[in-house]
């Protein structure tokens, strides 16, 4: 199998994504993770862009060992010299690459460069020769290659290889190419460029049409030996090809591609989380490989098949990308088998008729909330099998307060057969009400999370309130749906307290139910 080089440009093209700027120290943190990931090349920045970028490339060239360190530069003498200066520590140990680029499409020649094709050929060759004076590792990128005349592009590739380029990149700069078209372009270059075997052909695809990964893989099938990509696919506009998707496609379908990479795939999730944390660019839940739901199954059919044989619904394991274990999400689409297995994992061994009752109660709850958690299941077992009634019930609530007066809450709760009432103050009506509840119940549970979100539009919106309580090592979440957020907040807190009591009593009665 061929080994495909992975050129990571998270620190250069990825950082160009709006809102993704990184400090030098943050770039170093990402670079260190890319070493663990075993990226072949790390493009550290664009030294001519700013003093900060220059210093970042310099620090990475000094401190990061293992991968080749690359710096981007335009096809100008000044840019190339700045790149060489920033890269010098890496160049001295034969690990520095100067990456120079020049547009080759008539659109760019006419409107941006205002140059002829002959002038661009000369500029490209001169830039490569200039870069070769500093390092033997020179990459040339034909900007906007996919909108360039294929015959002219072939002449450019031949010219820069003759001038000394060791890698030639064929970027789909604006994400214009369709997958079969891009693959054919790479094949065309292999057929038309006589000296193409003297350099590595690289692909760098953008995701404007959602085809960056598929185009990159088409390039690999057509003979490319390097893929340029970013962690989580961040980058200009719609972003770049996502490293994790390219790498796992090649790993999962290795015989099809007749190729492999040297990436340590178990470090993928760590890299993804690091980049998310630094840039604030979160990935969608259903994002391939690194999304929250990438290894989650809710459908009862899928859960049943997975529990019988994992390969029925998983083509890669979460462990292979460092994502922990597969998650069987309990929701309205879950089936009886999935519930039964999860209950057994929690220690409950139910008879068929008991499981039927629990499953019916589970379905009723699942229609009301997006996900049913373990404590919800335990509460259902406690209430359905043990028939433990709710300990606490809200009877009356009144709050008051304003911008220039303190907030207070008057509360009446049924605690067992008793009716208790109290009043308390707080920073706001919810805080005052929660203090009153703690006073009446004497609960030692701590509120560790409180969330409110609208689930319908308008000023009369119904809101979902979640109150998460922890007592010792037991953590539960209470839920409420209400148009009155203050009352909903109290009901969510009371719901969580009742779950705590139900679970504690259920555990006292023993989890082995005969």
Q: Pairing relation of β-strands 474-482 and 68-74? A: unpaired
Q: Pairing relation of β-strands 327-328 and 296-297? A: parallel
Q: 140-182 pLDDT, tens per residue?
A: 999 999 999 999 999 999 999 999 999 999 999 999 999 999 9
Q: What is the architecture, at CATH level 2, of domain 392-508?
A: 2-Layer Sandwich (3.30)
Domain locations in the chain as residue ranges: 2-279, 296-384, 392-508
Residue 258 reports pLDDT greater than 60: yes
Q: Do domains 2-279 and 392-508 have the same CATH topology?
A: no
CATH class of 2-279: alpha beta
Structure tokens at 75: 């096809």
**pLDDT grade for 18, boundaries at 50, 70 and 90:** confident
Q: 288-337 pLDDT, tens per residue?
A: 999 888 887 767 778 778 778 888 878 899 899 998 777 666 777 788 88
The helix (run of H) or strand (run of E) holding residue 34 is helix 24-37
Residue 47 reports pLDDT greater than 90: yes
Average pLDDT, the chain: 90
**pLDDT grade for 407, boundaries at 50, 70 and 90:** very high
pLDDT at 507: 65
User: In 361-487, where do the E strands start and end?
Assistant: 392-402, 405-415, 418-426, 446-454, 463-471, 474-482
**pLDDT grade for 513, boundaries at 50, 70 and 90:** very low
How far is 172 from 206, CA to CA, in rounded Å?
Answer: 6
81 secondary structure, DSSP code: H
Residue in 211, 229, 83 with CA at minimum distance from that of residue 146: 211
Cα within 13 Å of Cα(267), Cβ side: 15
How far is 262 from 36, CA to CA, in rounded Å?
Answer: 11
How far is 135 from 95, CA to CA, in rounded Å?
Answer: 9
Residue in 187, 39, 81, 162 with CA at minimum distance from that of residue 170: 187
pLDDT at 514: 34
User: Could you identify the residue written with the tokens 């307060």?
Assistant: 401
**pLDDT grade for 512, boundaries at 50, 70 and 90:** very low
pLDDT at 457: 62
Rounded to an integer, the average pLDDT of 238-255 is: 97
pLDDT at 211: 98
pTM here is 0.72
Q: What are the residue ranges of helices labelled H in 193-321?
A: 212-221, 243-252, 254-257, 268-279, 300-308
Taking CA atoms, 486 is separated from 285, 420, 432, 439, in Å, by: 30, 19, 10, 18
pLDDT at 120: 97
pLDDT at 59: 98
> At 151, phi and psi to the nearest 5?
-70, -40
């Amino acid at each position: 199998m061929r080994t495909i080089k992975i050129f990571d440009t998270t620190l250069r093209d990825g950082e160009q994504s709006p809102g993704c700027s990184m400090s030098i120290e943050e770039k170093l943190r990402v670079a260190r993770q890319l070493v663990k990931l075993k990226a072949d090349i790390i493009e550290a920045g664009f030294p001519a862009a700013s003093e900060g970028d220059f210093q970042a490339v310099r620090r990475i060239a000094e401190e990061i060992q293992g991968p080749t360190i690359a710096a981007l530069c335009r096809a100008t003498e000044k840019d190339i010299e700045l790149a060489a200066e920033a890269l010098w520590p890496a160049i001295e140990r034969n690990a520095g690459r100067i990456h120079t680029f020049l547009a080759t499409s008539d659109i760019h020649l006419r409107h941006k460069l205002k140059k002829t094709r002959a002038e661009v050929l000369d500029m490209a060759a001169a830039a490569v020769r200039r870069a070769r004076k500093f390092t033997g590792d020179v990459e040339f990128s034909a900007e906007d290659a996919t909108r360039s005349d294929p015959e002219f592009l072939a002449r450019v590739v031949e010219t820069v290889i003759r001038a000394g380029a060791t890698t030639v990149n064929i970027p789909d700069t604006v994400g214009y190419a369709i997958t079969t078209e891009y693959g054919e372009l790479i094949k065309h270059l292999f057929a038309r460029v006589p000296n193409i075997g003297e350099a590595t052909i690289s692909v760098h695809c953008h995701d404007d049409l959602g085809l960056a990964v598929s185009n990159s893989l088409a390039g690999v099938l057509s003979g490319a030996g390097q893929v340029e990509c970013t962690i989580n696919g961040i980058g200009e506009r719609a972003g770049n090809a996502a490293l994790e998707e390219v790498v796992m496609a090649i790993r999962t379908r290795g015989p099809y591609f007749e190729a492999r990479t040297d990436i340590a795939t178990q470090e993928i999730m760590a890299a993804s989380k690091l980049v998310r944390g630094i840039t604030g660019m979160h990935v969608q839940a259903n994002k391939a490989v690194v999304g929250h739901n990438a290894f989650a199954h809710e459908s009862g059919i899928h859960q049943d098949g997975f529990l019988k044989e994992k390969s029925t619904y998983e083509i890669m394991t979460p462990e292979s990308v460092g994502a922990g274990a597969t998650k069987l999400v309990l929701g309205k689409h879950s089936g009886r088998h999935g519930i039964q297995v999860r209950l057994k994992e929690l220690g409950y061994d139910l008879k068929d008729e008991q499981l039927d009752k629990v499953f019916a109660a589970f379905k009723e709850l699942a229609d009301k909330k997006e996900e049913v958690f373990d404590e919800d299941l335990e509460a259902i077992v406690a209430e359905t099998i043990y028939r433990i009634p709710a300990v606490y019930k809200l009877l009356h609530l009144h709050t008051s307060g304003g911008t220039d007066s303190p907030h207070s809450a008057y509360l009446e709760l049924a605690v067992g057969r008793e009716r208790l009432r109290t009043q308390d103050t707080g920073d706001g009506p919810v805080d005052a009400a929660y203090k009153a509840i703690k006073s009446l119940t004497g609960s030692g549970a701590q509120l560790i999370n409180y969330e409110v979100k609208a689930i319908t539009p308008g000023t009369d919106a119904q809101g979902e309130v979640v109150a998460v309580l922890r007592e010792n090592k037991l953590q539960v979440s209470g839920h409420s749906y209400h148009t009155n957020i203050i009352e909903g907040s109290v009901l969510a807190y009371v719901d969580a307290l009742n779950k705590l009591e139900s679970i504690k009593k259920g555990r006292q009665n023993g989890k082995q139910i005969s």
